[in-house]
Amino acid sequence: MRAIVSLLALVVILGIIGVATGFFKFSATPGEMPKIAVSGGSLPRVSADAGSISLGSRNEAVSVPEVKVATKQTSVEVPTVAVRKPD
């Protein structure tokens, strides 16, 4: 992989040197956009029938589970951090 990247970098550097020294010359003639004329015609006509949507709310009886959470006191060892200022 490193060899491929090194070879590609070498080719790019040689190309830059070739253009800078005049070994490669590029020439172009200015171009022109084609002339296009559009006349006549009309946009297509489209008609669509869409349904209706109504939003609302209502009351409904739904079964909901009841969860009870109980707590109890337990002794647990927890880590502590003490920070002392330098004298």
With beta carbons less than 8 A apart as the criterion, state whether 15 and 24 touch.
Answer: yes
In angstroms, what CA-CA distances link 54 with 4, 5, 51, 57? Answer: 64, 63, 10, 10
In angstroms, what CA-CA distances link 17 with 10, 25, 66, 67? Answer: 11, 12, 80, 78
Encode pLDDT of 52-65 as tens digits: 878 888 889 999 89
Encode pLDDT of 5-34 as tens digits: 999 999 999 888 888 888 877 788 888 888
User: Is the predicted pLDDT of residue 47 greater than 80, yes or no?
Assistant: yes
Residue 55 pLDDT: 85
Encode pLDDT of 63-83 as tens digits: 989 989 898 999 999 888 888
Residue 10 pLDDT: 93
Residue 7 pLDDT: 92
